[in-house]
Every structure is written in structure tokens, then in C-alpha cells.
Structure 1
Amino acid sequence: MFRMNLKIALRNLWKNKVYTAINIGGLSIALAAFIIVVLYVNYETSYDKNLPNYDRIYLVGRSMPDFKTDYTPAPLAKAIRQNFPEVELAGLTKNMGFEMPVSSDHGKIFSSNALQVESEVAKMFDIDPRDGLPANDAGLKAYLPRPLYKQLFPKESMKPPQMVALGPSNGAQAEKVSGTIDRDDEHSNLKFDLLALGNDISFGDQDYGANNFKTFIQVKKGTDVKALQEKIDRLYKKEVVKAGVSPTDRRIAGRSVIFLDPLKNLHLRPAAGSDANYKVVMALFGLGILVMVIACINFTNLTIAQATKRAKEVGVKKVLGAYRFNLTFQFLAEIFMQCVLALIMGLIVAEILLPVFNNLFSTPLSLWRSNTTLYWQLPLLLLLITIISGIYPALVLSGFKPAAVLKGNLQTSYKTLWLRNALLAGQFGIAIIFITGLFIVNSQLKYMRTEDTGFKPEQVISIKNMVLYSQPWSFRDVREKISKIPGVNYVTVASDIPDGSKAGTMNYKIDGKEASSDFLYVDFDYFETLGIRLKEGRLFSWKFNADTANSAILNESAVARYGVKDPVGKTIRGCDIDYKIVGVVKDFKSQGFQTAVEPTVYTIKNPCGNFKTKIMINVDEQRMALVLTTLKSQWSSINKLDGDDFRYDFLDELYGRLFKKQEQLQAVFFFAAVLTIFIAVLGLFAFSAFTTNSRIKEISIRKVLGATDFQVLKLLNTYFIWIILVANLVAWPLTYMLAKKWLQTFAYRIEMPILPFLVAAVVTSVLTIIIVSIQAQKAVRRNPAEVLKYE
């Protein structure tokens, strides 16, 4: 029996080659897209999931009145370890914050992610050097990931420990690399290319006012995390009060400060950070599901459309004693065979497309390597699409009544007409969502690329530098040497550059009103270098000696936060210094378009701030190549402490990286729109062919009665155009809500455009007219005499 049903299934598939190819082809392409999306979602949601205590690791953060941060003071980890027995491990990490040359006699690398880590954090993250964790009194020991170690010491005989030089060649510090670490940190929240490991990286620091470490804890099984968070909060407040902070200070009074952020949230949804990654992952997953839905709809629609061809077979089998259950199982088995073929083809297409996806999203996805999750997901997916795509067609096919079928009285096509129309409308509705979404994403990206950001990153070079220019006079010699190069307009140095980096935050007070603001530690010509416009007052100038001691410039948002009228000349207090406000600059979008411009205070002197290391040079457009060549050849004499390793970035390229997620989303919508339109058009092609063939006698009779070819074409097109118009009317409100929600994630955004909705309607209508007309033309050209003859 099984062999006979298999033969029948294969013969039917071969007999209807075009429909079979459309069914399997459309489903395989959708499966390829969905498989890639599943791989990406698996990858993004499994950061650090291989850790044995993954669900018991937390990052300690602070919730301040105006922002959240995951930076904490050095002594907090030790205090948590000593006071709470439910905490198994607690430790600190600290990023070095600048690029550092690491060299040996055999090679050189540039470490841009040097990380100090305490041993207890190393245990949490399963970081295990080959020579084991350092002893209690060992101080800091340096380690390199094995691939980087091989670049410095290529010979097999060069085993650790080995000496390396940290820093520029003329001011390098000798350091011993104690060993290597066999760990791929690309899939971890703790990333490093140079690791300094020790039992205490705070070196006895007991200052609760300096928050420049990250604190990780690992709790025991069964710990009430919420209760622990409250206890740590009370401990923190107690310690900062001991350190001299008033109990009524707005930073701690009447509110919870400490929060515990689970490790599973840190990559996609950190409490103190952007959730842009999470939105892209969820958007991709949603798009993948919609693509699968449209493919399953296409499959179901075409299977139902061909139901009449199997009617007599069903009737004969029922007369011979077959039960409906047997027939349902048979048709499901046939559909399962098609789904298996589609899955195999989908895997092949996915393997071909993966390099393109990996390049776009900077991921190392692979179908076959380290992908145990996919092994159980694929069979589940196969079963799911078989049931979704096949259960209704199988029930329809097995439900034919033998008497009606064998008399030729089958009206199934009309009984299922409403369903087929709804499914076709659903297909195009999803395609309309993608088309409209693509144009809206394009409009927002165009706005972000062309809108005035408030500063001019073009023609600005950001030089990678290790020297700390903390005093106003310390940068003077470097500035003068660079300024003498023909083509250089302005030179400055600052603690941060406008590339999306978050500046430091501090409490400032004006006229008795205290609030937190970002602060930047800058130098002369900072605003001129970046083309930031002055609103009132003046900019920093060498003509005023006080600028190096106690002058400050605010942006418009800071003036608005403090509610100050006529701020120039008033005093703002912060970091135990009374600053005189000498100017106000216009807001500029240093952190992109998703985040509103933060209130910011700019000073030349700031003992509480980060070091000034970011050198920026504004260059004439016509002389860029000459300036870069000169800088490279003279860098060792210009910046003697930084050596001969001249490296730079263009500021506009660094700023452009803030648009990367939106550009990825744009690419995804483009491919999704093309894919869904392709699948919908395939379905429409087959469905219109079936509909036209089923109405061939009606068309012939109309032609005999005098209908012109145009009237017949209009009749057939009108039927499908109405379906497409309904699809547009249903899809538009849904698209509007989704697009509005997406646009609300931007602080600076476009108004909802109308044109994308009209374009989607025109595109789908024109495609429908073309496809249906091609099919209808074949029927119109047929001779009515041949169609209507009985024998």
C-alpha cells in the first residue's frame, strides 16, 4: 500500500511539474532565508551561554537621577564579597581605553581592547590561562589570546613566558607575557585582545567617588536576587555616606540606586546601554517568520487550487474502502515529501548566501560548525511547515464525497474560493508591509545622512594616541608642530570624540539647582576643529588666561536643563571648582540620531575627568593626502612620546558607523521585499493560471457572444485587482503602526511619509496586471470552437 501511494505521489508531482516547481522552489527560498535568520538569532542570543553558571552571573550597575551606568567604584566588589554569603564570587574589570602597540623582535600587534580582570571574574567567565590563575601575591600577569601570541612569536619553540614591549618604540615598557588563553571572545560579553589578570586590580583603591570599574558577581543557587539587590543598595548608600556624600543628596536619597543586570541581557538588552542589537534581532526574526508564513500560504493556496484534479482518485479510493484518516495521512505524506525536498534545497541556498550575510552583519555563522541547536530545530521546522502548509489541503482533499465526485458534480473550487482569495490577499499583504517598510527605512536613513548634525566631521582626522595631555600647556608643542603643516586648519585634543561614545557624567550646580550633565575635557580650538556653532558668548581662547583654570562652555541642552536665563557670566560648580560660563554652543548630535543631545559642560581644566588623548586635526579638502603623508613622516618628531606608530581614522567614517544597524535593517528589508514579492508573484502566476483555465469555457462563451479581447482581460484582471486592493487596505494600518513604533526609537526622525504606501499599492497592482494578463492572453487566443466542442 505504501509503495502504491508513493508511486501515485511521485506521478502526481511529475505530472504537474510547473506547480511542483513553484511550490518547492518558493518554499525552499523562504526556508533558506528562515534558516539564516534562525542561525543569527541563535548566535545573538547565546552569548556566554556555554558558561556553567550563565544564569547566576550579574553585572552591578547604578541608577542615577538622569541616567543608568554599569560603572561602579573599586571597593564595592570587595564589600559585596565580605558582607553577603549568598554571593559566591565578586570581582572587577577595567578597560584600558586606548590602542596600545605590543611588539617583540618577531612582530607587532596593536591592542585596542586591553582589559584588566580580577581572578574571580576570570572564574565566572571560564578564563583559564595555561599556567593557571595567579597566586594571591602575584600582582598582575599579562596574557594573550593564542592567535595573537603566534603573531608575536611565530616559532613553536618560543613558548611563554616571553618579554614584549608595551607602547611606542621610544618609550616602551617591558612586560612579561606569562601565557596564552585558548578562548574565542567573539561570542562573549567580556572581550579582550590583551589580558592583565590579577587578584586585585584596584590596588587598594577605596574611593567611592570614582566610578571607573565594572563589578561582576556570581550568586549561589536559589538566591533571591531582588532581595540581594536591595541589600547591596543599602550597603552602597551606607559606604558613600561614609565617604562624605550627604544622606539627602539627590543621587541616593529616596530612591534605589543599585541594580543587578543578568548576564543574559548584557549583549542585547543591557539596563545601562542601547538595545539597538535586540531590535535588529527581533526585527529579523519577525521578518523571517513573515517570509515563512507567505511561503506556507503560497504552498497551501496552490495545493487547494489543484484539488479538483485529485477528486476522482479520492472518490474511487473511498468506494474501495479507504477511510478519511488514510487519505489525510497519504496527502500529508505527499506534502511532507515536498517539504523535505524544499528543506534540502533551502539548506543549499542558505550555504550559498551565508557568506553574504556574514559580511553584512560581521558574524561567523556556519551551518555545520558548532551548530548543535540547529540539529533539533530543523526537524521541528520541517514538521511545523508540513502541518501548517498541509493540514488544511489534506483535509479538503480527503473530504470529497464519492457520489458527488463520480457524478462530476464537484464544486470544491467554489467552496474554497473564499479561503484562496484570503490567502492570496495575505501573501500580498505581507509583501506590501516589506515594500512600504523598505521605503520608510530608506527615508529615515536618507534623513540621517543629510540632516544637519550640528558639527562637521568631514575633513577631520582622528589620530590614535597614547599620550595623556592633561595640562593645557602639555599639548602646546604638538599643536604648534602640526599647525605648521600646509593644509592644517585647526588642531585640538579632548577626552572624547563625537563618534557615539558616551562622555563622563557629573553633578553640576547653577543658582542652587543641581543636576547631572555630561562633561568633556577639551582644549583650545575644539569647537573650531569640529565646526560647532557658537550661540552666545565666546569660545575658549589663548587670550584669556582664566580659560585654562575655571572657564566653562555649555550647550543649549545644558542651559535648558538648568533653566538658566542669560547664562554667560554666571557660575557653575562641579568637581569642587567654580567655573565661569563664558559661552553657549549649539547642540550637536555627537551620539547619532537615536539619542537626544545630552546636556554637556565643556572645560579645559577638569581634575575629575578622563585624560585628554583624542587628537583631532581639521584639514583642507584639497591637501588631505599631503597632510597625511607629512604627518606620517614626521610623527616621531611631532609626538615624541607616542613613537613612530602613526595611525588615524577619518571622523566622518567613525560617525557613520552609528548608522550601521539601520543600514543592516535596510538591507534586510530590501532582500525580504524582493523575496516576498517573488514568492507572491509565483503564487499569483500559478493561481491565475488555474483560475483562467477553470474559466476557459466561460471566456469562450463570452467571445462567441461578442466580447472583445480587452473586455475579457479586464474581467480577469478586475477580479485579482480587487484582492490586491483589499490586501493594501489591510496591510497599511499594520505597516503604519509598526513603522511608527520603529521611528519612535529615534530622538530625531522623519514624519511618517505617505508616498511609500502609494508606491506599494502601485507596485503590487502593476505586477498583478502583468502576471494575470500573461495568463489571460493564452486563454483569450484559444479558438472557442475547440474549447466548447463536446465530442
Structure 2
Amino acid sequence: MFKLNLKIALRNLWKNKGITAINIGGLAIALAAFILVMMYASYETSFDKENPNYDNIYVVGVTYPEFKTNYVAAPLATAIKQNFPEVESAGLITGSSFELTIKNGNNTLFTKNILVADYSAAKILNIKPNSGLLRPQGDDRLTYLSTESMKTLFPNKKDNKPEIVGFGASNSGITGTIAGAIKNNTHSNFKFDGVSIASELGKNDNYNMNAYTIYLQLKPETDVELLEQKINNLYKAELLKSNKVTDVKSISTFLDPLANLHLRPKAGNDAAYKILIALSTLGILILVIACINFTNLSIAQAAKRGKEVGVKKVMGAFRYQLTTQFLVEIFMQCLVAVVLALMLAELVLPSFNHLFQVQLSIWHFHNGLFWQLPLILCVITFIAGIYPAMVLSGFKPAMVLKGNFSTSKQSYWLRNGLLVFQFCIAVVFIISLLTINSQLKYMRTQDVGFTANQVVYIKNLTLFNNPSKLGSVSFEPLREKMMNIPGVKSATVATYIPGGTNGVNSYSANGITANIDFVNVEFDYFETLDIKLKEGRFFSQKFKTDNVNSAVINESAVAKYGFKNPVGQTITGSGIDYKIVGVIKDFKSQGFESIVQPTIYTINDPHGDYKTQIMVKIEESRMAEVLATLKSQWSQINPKDGEDFRYEFLDELYGKLFKKQEQLQSVFFAAASLTIFIAILGLFAFAKYITTGRIKEIAMRKILGANDLQIFKLINKSFFVMVLIANLISWPLAYILTKKWLETFAYRIDIPILPFVLSALITILLTIITVTVQARNAVKANPVDALKYE
């Protein structure tokens, strides 16, 4: 019996190979997209899960009135460990984006992220050097480089013994010891070029120095909410005891699980999480559309199998046997679709990896596909096949053998309803894509308040600050050397560049104390970036006090402190009474998602970071010439930095702020294209079924005088109505979704009407073209051929 059913199934599939190809092809495309989404979702949600303490690790954060941060004072870690027995271990970590040059003879390595951790943090986070984790003695540190970095410096090294290396320029004379190699787990929140492990960190720090991240390993079954409250009370008590803060009511602490850190940290950006949710939803919807296609076409084909069902029922077949037979047929098609989907996914995977900056592999044993795909195969077989199988197996033998068979009204409404649902999803995708395009166009064309074009950011190791500060030098000699190069318009240095994160400190003015952003700059900073002055003046070397206690603030800071006439007023921070000499217009240094923060700019800040970020504005016509000169003369211009001249264009760095949204744009473009393609495939086959079923009606109308245009209008009418209904249903949903997405931007467009109009025009036009092309053969056919048996 099985052999007979298999032959019947294969013959039916071959007989209707056009519909079969559409069924399998549409499902394969949707499955390929779904496979890629599953792999990406699995990758993104499994960061650090290799850590045996994964479920019990938390980071301690602080909430201020203006923001949340994971940077806290080192003494808090010791206080937590001493006061709360449910805390098994507490460790400190600090990172650095400072680019350090390490040399071994002619081999040079530029490290962008050396992670500094104490021994406890290394144990908590499962950071293990290849030679094993050792506790350094006293104040010594053990520095390890990642395996990849060690290969760059020591390409022929076979052992794991310590090595002597040089730091900085080749003539700096600074050397150090690399203790060995350490594996850099790319599937972790803690990526690094190297790790420096200390026995303890922050021993001499106080509660005014928020420079570390505290990680806690809790004992199993700990009441996290209760502990969070106890830490909050402890922190406030410690602040009052240290006399660093008198008003602690507005300050609180929180615990953030390690599981949150990658996608949705409490103190950070959850854009990656939103992208993942959007991507997962799109993948599921595309698969749903393909299943709808499958169901629709299977129901449409039901009439052709009526006599087969009637004969089998007369011969004694039970309904469950027929249902099983049809499910097996659908399973065979789904199985072929899965195989094709794997092939398509493998072809698309390199582009997908490039878009999302990941290294996924279909054939990796740990990606879960080996158990997920069989499960998905069974699920889609059931979802796409159960209703058509029940319809086919439910035909009554007496009626179908007389030729009086048709699918029920319920099937008619289901087919049309599913088709409407397909186009609803397609319309939502089209509107979303067009809205995303409009917002990105707005972001690219809107005036951000400064000019990044023709500004070169030079990577630098020299520390520039107040010359009286230990280890720092004056920037002025270097600026003069660069200004002597023909084509250089201006040069400056600062603690931070636009597109990065600014520092935060407490400043008081006009009776108000608040945490605001600060940037320590040098002369010509505002001129180099073409930042607009609202009132007062910029820093100038003509005024000696600018090096001592002058400040420039932005419009948001003016509003924050309620200044009416800010120029000449005093703002106090870092132990200095700054005189405000100018107010600049707000500029979007953090992009469009974050509102411009109140910011103060100073030249002298004893508590600020070192100025290391060199920016040079160059004439456009002489860019290549100036860069070549800087490269050849860099060891003389900036001796401490040496011969390693490295640069990036500031506009490219700032453009990275748009990366996530550009990814979303690419995802929606692919999703909209796939959805429309699959929907049109289904519509094409469905239109063929409808026109074939109405072939005699079309013949009669032609005999009675109807012309081709009238018949085309007749056939298109029902499809036109369904697509119009799909648009009307989709518009409110698309409006809500795009509104919620736009609300994630501090600076955004109003929801435009054009995407809604275009979605209707696109879907209606595609529907008319698809149905008309499919109906053309029926309309052009000779009426005699359709009516000769009547």
C-alpha cells in the first residue's frame, strides 16, 4: 500500500510540476531565510554561556538622575564582599580603547583593547591564559596577549614562555614582559587583544573615582532583588561616610545579569536587541507566508484529487489513511524544500556574515540546526498540510464520482483570507522599508552641527594635557609643526572625538548641581570641526586665562542650569571655578538616537582624561599630499609616538553610528523582496487555478460579446479587492510599528504618507500584472475548445 501511495504521490507531483515547483521553491526560499535568522538568533543569545557561572554573575551599576552607568568606585567591591555572605566573589575590570604599540624587532602590533582585571574578576569571567590562571605577587601584573596577537609578534613561537617586548616608538626604550598567550573568545562580551591581570585593583581609590566595573558571582538561590536593595543602602551609606556626596536620594544601584550585557544592558544601548527581535519576527513571518502559499495552493488543487479520493473510499480506505497519505506527500515536498533551503543558505551566508560582522557556519555542530531542522520540517508539514489533507480526505464518494465536487465555502473564505494575510505582511514590510529609508536619508542629509569632512583623526600614543601633569606634554609644538605643512588648515587635540563617548562629571552653577558631559580640548577645536558659535567667543591664545579657568558650554547646558546670560557666569567642577566665555550651538556628537547632552568644554581639567585624540583639517585638493607628508615626518613631528603613523577619516568614524540602522534597512529590503516574491508566486499559481476553473464562463462571455478588456477586468476584480483590503488592514498596524521604531530616535522624521500610498500602488500593480499574465491564455483561447463537450 505504501509503495502504491508513493507512486501516486510522485505522479501527482510530476503531473502538476508547475504548482509543485512554486510550492517547493517558495518554501525553500523562506526556509533559507529562516535558517539564517535562527543561526543568528542562537549566536546572539548565547554570549558567555560557556562560563560555568553564567547564571550567577551580575554587574553592579549606578543610576543617576541623568543616566545609568556600569562604572563605579573600586572600594564598593570590597565593601560588598565584606558585608554580604551571599556574594561568593567580587572582582574589578577596566578596559581601554587606547591604542598601544607593541614591537618585537620588525614585527609591530597595535592593540586596541587591553583588558585590565584583578584576579577575582578573571576567575569570575572564566578568563584563563593558556598556561593557567596565576595570582600575581604584590603590585606586579601578568600581561597576556591573545593567540592571534602573539602570532603577529612571534610568528615562529612554539612554546608559551614569557617574552620581552618594546612599547611605543622603537626609540622609546620602554620594554615589558608578555607572560604568555590567552585565547580570545569571540563569542563573549569580553573581547580583547590582551589581558593584564593584577592581584588587586583600585587599592588607593576613593568613592570619587568611578573608573571600574564590578562583577559579582552570587551563591545559587540568592534573592537578587533583596541583595540589590542591600547594596543600594550600602552604597548610599558609603557615599555619606566618605563625604563625597551629601544628597544620595537621587542615586541608586542596580544588578544587571551577565545574560543581559550583550543585547539589552540596563546601562547601555539595546539597538542590537531590537535588531534581533525585528530579524526574528521577519524570519517567522516569511516562513508563515510560505506555509500560507503551500496551504492555499494545496486547497486549490483539491478538486483535481476528488475522484481519486472517491475511488479509494469506495474501496474501503479510512479517512485517517487518506489524511496520512496526503501528509506524506506534503512531507516529501517539505523535505526537498529543506534540502534546497540549506543550499541557498550556504550560498547567501558569506553576504549575511559580512552584513552582521559575524562568522556563522551551517555545518558547525553546535549551532543547533541538527535538531532544529527535523523539528521545523515536522512542524511546517503539519501546519501547511493538515487542513488541505483534511479537506481532501473529507470528500463524499457518491458526490465526487458523479462529478459534483468542490471545496466548501469555508475553503473559499480560507483561501481568500490567507491571500489577504500574505499581502498584509508584504504591505507592512514595504511601508517599514520605505520609512526606514526616509529616516536614514534624513540622518545623512540633516545638518549635525559640525563638519567631519576633510578632518583626519590621527591615532596617537602621546599624552597631551596641562604640562604640569605627570607624563604629559604640551600640544603647541606639535601643532606648529603640522601647521607648517602646506594644506593643513587647523589642528587640535581632545579627550574625545565626535561619535565616541564623552566623560561625565558633576558641575554646579546657578544653584544647580548636575552630572553633565565634559570634553577637554585644545585651541582650534571648534574651528577644526566647524562648530557654530551662538554667543561669546571660542578659546583663544590671546587670552591667558583660557589655559586656566575658561569654559565653553553648549545650548543644552545653558538650558540645564537655567542661564539667562551665560557668558561671564561661573560654573564649578573638578575643584575649579570656570568662567563661561562662549556658548556653542548644540551638535549631534552622539548621532540621532541620543538627545544632545549638556556639555562643558575646557582646556584645563585636573580630573579629566589625557588628551590623545588628534584631529587635523586638511584642504580637500591636497589631502593625499598632506597625508604622505605627515607619514614621512611623523617621527619628527611627534617623537613620542614614533614612526607608526595611523589615521582614519572622521566622517567614516561618525558614520559607524548609523551601522545598526543600515543593517535594519538591508534586512527589511531583503524581507520585503522575499515576501513580495513569495506572495506573487502564490498569486500566480492561484490565478491559474481560478482562471482554469472559470474557463467555460470566460468562453460563454466571449460568445455573448465580451471583449478581452472586460474579461481581464472581471478576473482581476476579486484579486484587486483582496489586495485593497490587505492594504486597509495593514496601514494601522504599519503606522503603529513605524511610529514605535521612530520613537527610538531623539531626532526623527514625521511619519510620511508616501510609503502608505506607494505600498498600495506597488501591491495593486503587481497583482494586476501577475493575474493578467496568468489569465491571458484563458482569455485568448478559442471558446469552442472550452465548450465542445457541453
CA contact (8 A) 2:162 2:180 kept: yes
1:355-384 Cα shifts (integer Å, max 9, x gaps): 010011110011112434222221221121
Greater Cα offset, 633-642 or 161-170? 161-170
Segments of 5+ residues of structure 2 without an aligned counterpart are 468-472
SS across alignment from 1:85: coil
Distance 1:524 1:106 in 2: 37
CA contact (8 A) 1:140 1:201 kept: no
Match of residue 180 from structure 2: 179
Q: What amino acid does structure 2 have at the position aligned with 1:177?
A: I
Q: What amino acid does structure 2 have at the position aligned with 1:340?
A: L
1:202-252 Cα shifts (integer Å, max 9, x gaps): 2x22311011111111101001111111122222222222221244x2xx2
Greater Cα offset, 96-105 or 652-661? 96-105
Distance 2:696 2:131 in 1: 85
CA contact (8 A) 1:308 1:413 kept: no
Greater Cα offset, 553-562 or 369-378? 369-378
Q: What amino acid does structure 1 have at the position aligned with 2:162?
A: P
Summarize the Cα distance change of 1:334–1:157 in structure 2 as closer, same or farther, 3 Å threshold. closer
Match of residue 629 from structure 1: 628
Distance 1:30 1:788 in 2: 41
Match of residue 160 from structure 1: 161
1:574-627 Cα shifts (integer Å, max 9, x gaps): 112111111100000000000000000111111111111111111111111111
1:510-567 Cα shifts (integer Å, max 9, x gaps): 1211122111111111100100000001111011111111111110001111111011
Q: What amino acid does structure 1 have at the position aligned with 2:677?
A: F
Deviation at 1:136, TM superposition (A): 5.0
Choose which of 355, 364, 373 in structure 2 pairs with 1:369.
364
Choose which of 452, 455, 466 in structure 1 pairs with 2:450.
455
Match of residue 289 from structure 2: 294
Summarize the Cα distance change of 1:172–1:260 in structure 2 as closer, same or farther, 3 Å threshold. farther
Summarize the Cα distance change of 1:206–1:242 in structure 2 as closer, same or farther, 3 Å threshold. farther
Summarize the Cα distance change of 1:157–1:53 in structure 2 as closer, same or farther, 3 Å threshold. closer
Deviation at 1:320, TM superposition (A): 1.9
Alignment of 1:345 with 2:340, yes or no, is yes
SS across alignment from 1:187: coil
Deviation at 1:647, TM superposition (A): 0.2
CA contact (8 A) 1:106 1:154 kept: no
Match of residue 400 from structure 1: 395
Deviation at 1:715, TM superposition (A): 0.7
How high is the sequence identity, in percent, across the aligned residues? Answer: 57
Deviation at 1:337, TM superposition (A): 1.1
1:107-135 Cα shifts (integer Å, max 9, x gaps): 21110011111122211222221322223
Please give the residue correspondences for 1:631-780 in structure 2 after superposition, counting only pairs within 5 Å. 631-780=630-779
TM-score (norm 2): 0.98
User: What RMSD over aligned residues (CA atoms) do the two structures have, in Å?
Assistant: 1.3
Match of residue 786 from structure 1: 785
Match of residue 515 from structure 2: 516
1:21-62 Cα shifts (integer Å, max 9, x gaps): 000000000000000011111111111011111111111111
Greater Cα offset, 685-694 or 231-240? 231-240
1:124-181 Cα shifts (integer Å, max 9, x gaps): 2222213222235262011111122122112244642111112222225211111111
Distance 1:776 1:16 in 2: 18
Q: What amino acid does structure 1 have at the position aligned with 2:613?
A: K
Distance 1:439 1:371 in 2: 37
Summarize the Cα distance change of 1:526–1:298 in structure 2 as closer, same or farther, 3 Å threshold. same
Deviation at 1:8, TM superposition (A): 1.3
Alignment of 1:243 with 2:242, yes or no, is yes
Distance 1:428 1:738 in 2: 17
Segments of 5+ residues of structure 1 without an aligned counterpart are none
Distance 1:464 1:149 in 2: 22
Match of residue 281 from structure 1: 276
Distance 2:779 2:129 in 1: 78
Distance 2:160 2:58 in 1: 36
Distance 1:372 1:597 in 2: 41
SS across alignment from 1:412: coil
1:283-313 Cα shifts (integer Å, max 9, x gaps): 1011111111111111110000000011111
Q: What amino acid does structure 1 have at the position aligned with 2:671?
A: A
Match of residue 24 from structure 2: 24
Q: What amino acid does structure 2 have at the position aligned with 1:742?
A: W
CA contact (8 A) 1:457 1:652 kept: yes
CA contact (8 A) 2:131 2:160 kept: no
Greater Cα offset, 392-401 or 344-353? 392-401
Match of residue 565 from structure 2: 566
Alignment of 1:264 with 2:263, yes or no, is no
Match of residue 461 from structure 2: 466
Distance 1:682 1:591 in 2: 44
Match of residue 429 from structure 2: 434
CA contact (8 A) 2:451 2:529 kept: yes
Distance 1:567 1:279 in 2: 40
TM-score (norm 1): 0.97
Distance 1:526 1:156 in 2: 45
CA contact (8 A) 1:134 1:199 kept: no
Match of residue 128 from structure 1: 128
Q: What amino acid does structure 2 have at the position aligned with 1:141?
A: L
Alignment of 1:37 with 2:40, yes or no, is no
Distance 2:43 2:535 in 1: 50
Match of residue 548 from structure 2: 549
CA contact (8 A) 2:207 2:244 kept: no
Match of residue 590 from structure 2: 591
Distance 2:78 2:677 in 1: 60
CA contact (8 A) 1:463 1:649 kept: yes
Distance 1:341 1:590 in 2: 52
Q: What amino acid does structure 2 have at the position aligned with 1:362?
A: Q
Deviation at 1:408, TM superposition (A): 1.4
SS across alignment from 1:416: helix
SS across alignment from 2:756: helix
CA contact (8 A) 2:424 2:730 kept: yes
Q: What amino acid does structure 2 have at the position aligned with 1:442?
A: N
Alignment of 1:83 with 2:83, yes or no, is yes
Distance 2:168 2:664 in 1: 39
Distance 1:272 1:23 in 2: 47
Q: What amino acid does structure 2 have at the position aligned with 1:169?
A: S
1:248-268 Cα shifts (integer Å, max 9, x gaps): x2xx22x55111111010011
Greater Cα offset, 448-457 or 362-371? 362-371
Distance 1:492 1:372 in 2: 48
SS across alignment from 1:515: strand
Match of residue 115 from structure 1: 115
CA contact (8 A) 1:114 1:193 kept: yes
